[in-house]
């Protein structure tokens, strides 16, 4: 431990300002796709006083469902019932700011200098920001930080710190199946303590206390409505990572972008965090804490294995990086950061970085509260309910949660982000890509209304279904805006004058608007250029279409669609 002056337990005004900037950065409208099916689940359980055990809100209503985040669902419903989506928007900044405060106070006690702590924690928080959403993993973020700090404190406090581990596990295992990580953290820390014990730096008594705390915590993880299936079942589920990396997983896992390994282009700050951590471990190898080294290896395995883990492990790295940086800076000959102008620059630079990020997010419209209407089909859903369009409904995969919240029980969704029905997931893949048999699949499910998007959200790739529908006389386009399309089967519309069909090419105005927005948000969505080219071509703008296709060919010279399209356009 470094020799540092004692700090006042109260945070300084500058540190409070830093926390406030973090909270504002986390303030955003409720737009995450999964939040809405969790809201609907909470409402259903509250009204029926029963747990969800099947995919009740979809056409695959008999598919089994393990609602591992049932307590989180009920909490969301309670907040929503109290203050609507506006109050619900505040839940995210409260939890994120609490995580930031835990990291800040922990590291200030260990390092002392905010000139070291604030910049490093800012990096860790920015790396974790892509996962800031009102989803149950928020609780895993919070409780994992608490576990790491309690495990470390237990070296001096023993059972007074470790005794809280099973207590925290009781809500955690009912809020999110990620509670299994708590058990993993205890096991990894115990391995580190075993190494310290063998080297005479810890006692067998301490090792036994930790083993006892871990055993009681494991028992506490079974105190949930689903018993062993929460902690042990999730361990088995994460074994799918090996199948995903080998390309042998089920198609619904291969189609989930979160299960794929990361790249520097997608999560650059994760690479910066772990590159810095690896460097610090190398420079401090002679005074290395075994637990920190073990956590580094485990977190690196998690992060480099699946992109979904990069944000969590970047946040957890904040428990160790500031201390490592503080130890090295204290060794610099003749300098102490807190006594030089660089200290003020580091402190205020951290706040300025967060403020700049807030301004950037505000410019993109992602800072705010209430309902996110630019990413969700709010107006199209209003149209469906007001016109009482015929059931059943086919919908975009990532809108399933929002639509079940808005439309149940009048409509059941076809597919949603929970992926409980393999049959429906594969059917949706066939329909979205207009593969042979797509029309029959819709007919077999009794689908008479389609509420769809025009591009895949993750990649920006255009949906072949839109082109197929524009050529299919059995379906009428009855509504479009810059977010969604609504089609109705003509023989089910009943000839209502309120459902006058729009020209089929109007669908491509939506495609052009959506693809442009997706590409503006993330230039890595290169297939959005294909969507813009296809839409411009269908709308008669040959010059724009040629430009989009040429830009895409520069990225993917082997693109068959872009090459053939340019040949056609060149002949005009």
Question: What is the DSSP code string of 395-446?
Answer: E-GGGHHHHHHHHTTT--BS--TT---HHHHHHHHHHHTT-TTHHHHHHHTT
pTM over the 0.85 mark: yes
Contact indicator for 139, 182 with CB cutoff of 8 Å:
no
Contact indicator for 27, 369 with CB cutoff of 8 Å:
yes
Q: What is the DSSP code string of 244-265?
A: HHHT-S-HHHHT-GGGSPP-TT
Sheet with 475-480: strands ordered across: 393-395, 449-452, 485-489, 475-480
pLDDT of residue 338: 46
**172-210 per-position pLDDT tens digit:** 999 999 999 999 999 999 999 898 888 878 788 888 999
CA distance 95 to 83: 17
Q: Are strands 475-480 and 449-452 parallel, antiparallel or unpaired?
A: unpaired
CA distance 570 to 20: 56
| Residues lower than pLDDT 50 in the chain | 1-6, 247-248, 251-254, 337-338, 571-572
pLDDT of residue 211: 93
| Measured CA distances, 572 to 407, 512, 544, 549 (Å) | 46, 21, 13, 15
| Measured CA distances, 243 to 94, 252, 459 (Å) | 37, 12, 22
SS3 142: helix
**64-121 per-position pLDDT tens digit:** 888 889 999 999 999 999 999 999 999 999 999 999 999 999 999 888 788 889 999 9
Q: Which helix (H) or strand (E) holds 30?
A: none
The two tokens of residue 539 are 């709308």
**375-387 per-position pLDDT tens digit:** 899 999 999 999 9
Nearest CA-CA partner of 343 in 114, 108, 16:
114
């Amino acid at each position: 431990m470094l020799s540092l002056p004692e700090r006042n337990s109260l945070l300084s005004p500058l540190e409070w300002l830093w926390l406030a900037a973090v909270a504002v950065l986390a303030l955003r409208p409720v737009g995450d796709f999964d939040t809405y099916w969790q809201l609907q689940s909470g409402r259903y359980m509250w009204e029926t006083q029963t747990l969800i055990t099947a995919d009740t809100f979809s056409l695959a209503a008999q598919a089994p469902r393990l609602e591992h985040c049932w307590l989180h669902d009920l909490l969301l419903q309670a907040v929503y019932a109290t203050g609507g989506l506006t109050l619900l928007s505040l839940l995210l900044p409260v939890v994120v700011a609490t995580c930031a405060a835990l990291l800040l106070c922990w590291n200030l006690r260990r390092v002392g200098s905010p000139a070291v702590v604030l910049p490093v924690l800012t990096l860790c928080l920015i790396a974790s920001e892509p996962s800031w959403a009102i989803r149950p993993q928020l609780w895993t973020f919070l409780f994992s930080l608490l576990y790491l700090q309690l495990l470390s404190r237990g070296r001096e406090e023993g059972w007074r710190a470790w005794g809280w581990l099973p207590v925290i596990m009781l809500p955690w295992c009912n809020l999110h199946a990620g509670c299994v990580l708590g058990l993993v953290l205890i096991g990894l820390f115990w391995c580190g303590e075993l190494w310290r014990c063998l080297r005479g730096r810890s006692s067998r008594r301490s090792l036994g206390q930790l083993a006892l705390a871990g055993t009681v915590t494991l028992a506490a993880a079974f105190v949930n409505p689903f018993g062993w299936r929460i902690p042990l079942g999730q361990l088995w589920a994460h074994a799918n990572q090996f199948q995903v990396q080998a390309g042998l997983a089920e198609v619904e896992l291969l189609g989930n972008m979160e299960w794929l390994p990361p790249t520097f282009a997608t999560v650059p700050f994760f690479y910066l965090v772990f590159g810095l951590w690896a460097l610090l471990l190398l420079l401090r190898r002679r005074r290395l804490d075994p637990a920190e080294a073990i956590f580094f290896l485990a977190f690196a395995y998690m992060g480099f294995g699946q992109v979904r883990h990069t944000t969590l492990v970047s946040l957890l790295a904040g428990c160790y990086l500031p201390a490592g940086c503080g130890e090295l800076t204290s060794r610099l000959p003749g300098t102490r950061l807190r006594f030089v102008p660089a200290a003020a620059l580091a402190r205020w630079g951290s706040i300025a970085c967060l403020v700049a990020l807030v301004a950037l997010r505000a410019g993109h419209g992602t800072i705010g509260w209430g309902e996110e209407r630019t990413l969700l089909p709010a107006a199209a859903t209003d149209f469906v309910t007001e016109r009482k369009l015929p059931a059943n409904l086919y919908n975009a995969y990532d809108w399933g949660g929002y639509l079940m919240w808005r439309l149940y029980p009048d409509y059941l969704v076809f597919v949603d982000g929970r992926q409980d029905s393999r049959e429906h997931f594969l059917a949706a893949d066939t329909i979205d890509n207009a593969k042979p048999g797509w029309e029959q699949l819709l007919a077999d499910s009794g689908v008479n209304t389609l509420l769809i998007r025009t591009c895949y959200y993750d990649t920006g790739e255009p949906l072949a279904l839109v082109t197929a529908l524009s050529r299919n006389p059995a379906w009428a386009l009855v509504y479009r805006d810059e977010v969604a399309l609504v089609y109705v089967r003509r023989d089910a519309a009943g000839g209502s004058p309120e459902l006058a069909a729009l020209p089929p090419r109007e669908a491509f105005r939506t495609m052009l608007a959506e693809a442009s927005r997706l590409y503006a948000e993330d230039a890595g969505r290169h297939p959005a250029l294909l969507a813009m080219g296809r839409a411009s071509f269908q709308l008669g703008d040959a010059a724009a279409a040629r430009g989009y296709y040429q830009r895409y060919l520069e990225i993917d010279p082997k693109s068959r669609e872009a090459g053939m399209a340019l040949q056609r356009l060149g002949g005009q």
